[in-house]
């Protein structure tokens, strides 16, 4: 079976896709991209693809050249990667972006068959891929500031989802330990079995002389990679919600990960 290939069209199609993929990988790695590097990389990648297609070699050799040699030269030209680890990361991003871009493009292509709209669909697919990537990064950043905690008192435990508040530098003036703040409703059942309570003063927006109730619990356990347990911990009690939708029940002082753990 023979296929008739118009090399000029083949070159333009590959150039367009290579350019979009390289631009996407650059943005994923560095947040932006430089056209003076991406443009030559896309041209070289498309040119090498065309030359490889015309080589009188077996199909598996062409596949090897496509996926290893051509992509390596293209990445090295377009992206200033440093070291093997960063190169491997860029290499997998190139293929991941290719699968995602191809999937989005195929979805649109099944509805409209007009060949002249190819480049429009390519750009739309690229923008959608960037939107998916931005959403994923946003979720990733959000997860970096959340954690699961266990508050224990007299054998009873309450699991809470916490928000790591980088602006919370509140410390207990008596012990010097960082103070987390939890909703009263979330730990009210545990407060019934502890009588160790006291108040500390602190400053908040609109209130220079506020007072915060501290209650001592048996322990606060931080699961995950940290796996730390803080015994006899004083936690601030808030009568208002930490988050309006109830997602977070405790504000975690970031210093709690570095101090007072046993």
Q: Is 262 a residue whose pLDDT tops 50?
A: no
The pLDDT of residue 176 is 83
The pLDDT of residue 260 is 45
Structure tokens at 145: 């500031």
CA-to-CA separations, 24 to 32, 35, 66, 77, 258, in angstroms, rounded: 9, 12, 20, 15, 37
Please compute the mean of the pLDDT values over residues 130-147 and round it to a whole number. 65
Q: Is 133 a residue whose pLDDT tops 60?
A: yes
pLDDT digits (tens, 9 = 90+) for 151-202: 999 989 999 988 888 777 788 888 888 899 999 999 999 998 888 999 988 7
- The enclosing H or E element of 149 equals strand 146-153
Please, are residues 178 and 171 in contact by the beta-carbon 8 Å criterion? yes
217 versus 106: which is more confidently predicted?
217
Structure tokens at 120: 């429009």
Q: Is 215 a residue whose pLDDT tops 90?
A: yes
Please, are residues 150 and 220 in contact by the beta-carbon 8 Å criterion? yes
Q: Hey, which residues are catalytic here? A: 165
The pLDDT of residue 256 is 80
Residue 114's pLDDT band (cuts 50, 70, 90): low
Please compute the mean of the pLDDT values over residues 3-15 and round it to a whole number. 79
| Choice among 56-60, 126-130, 246-250 with the minimum mean pLDDT | 126-130
Q: How far apart are CA 252 and CA 82, in angstroms?
A: 37
- Radius of gyration of the chain, Cα coordinates, nearest whole angstrom: 28
Q: At what angle do helices 118-144 and 7-30 cross, to 10 degrees?
A: 20
> Percentage of the chain surpassing pLDDT 70?
76
Question: Which of 262, 220, 20, 216 lies closest to 118 in space, CA to CA?
Answer: 20
Structure tokens at 48: 């090498």
The pLDDT of residue 167 is 74
| Choice among 58-62, 79-83, 209-213, 217-221 with the minimum mean pLDDT | 79-83
């Amino acid at each position: 079976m023979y296929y008739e290939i118009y090399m000029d069209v083949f070159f333009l199609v590959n150039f367009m896709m290579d350019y979009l993929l390289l631009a996407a990988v650059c943005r994923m790695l560095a947040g932006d991209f430089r056209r003076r590097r991406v443009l030559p990389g896309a041209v070289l990648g498309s040119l090498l693809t065309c030359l490889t297609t015309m080589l009188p070699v077996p199909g598996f050799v062409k596949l090897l050249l496509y996926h290893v040699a051509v992509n390596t030269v293209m990445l090295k030209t377009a992206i200033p990667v440093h070291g093997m680890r960063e190169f491997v990361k860029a290499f997998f991003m190139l293929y991941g972006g290719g699968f995602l871009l191809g999937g989005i493009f195929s979805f649109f292509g099944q509805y409209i068959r007009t060949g002249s709209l190819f480049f429009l669909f390519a750009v739309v697919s690229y923008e959608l891929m960037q939107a998916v990537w931005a959403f994923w990064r946003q979720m990733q950043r959000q997860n970096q500031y959340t954690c699961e905690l266990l508050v224990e008192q007299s054998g009873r435990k309450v699991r809470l989802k916490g928000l790591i508040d980088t602006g919370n530098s509140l410390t207990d003036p008596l012990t010097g330990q960082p103070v987390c703040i939890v909703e009263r409703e979330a730990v009210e059942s545990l407060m019934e079995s502890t009588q160790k309570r006291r108040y500390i003063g602190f400053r908040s927006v609109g209130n220079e002389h506020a007072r915060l109730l501290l209650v001592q619990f048996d322990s606060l356990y931080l699961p995950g990679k940290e796996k730390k347990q803080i015994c006899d911990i004083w936690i601030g009690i808030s009568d208002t919600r930490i988050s309006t939708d109830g997602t977070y029940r405790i504000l975690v002082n970031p210093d709690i990960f570095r101090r007072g753990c046993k």
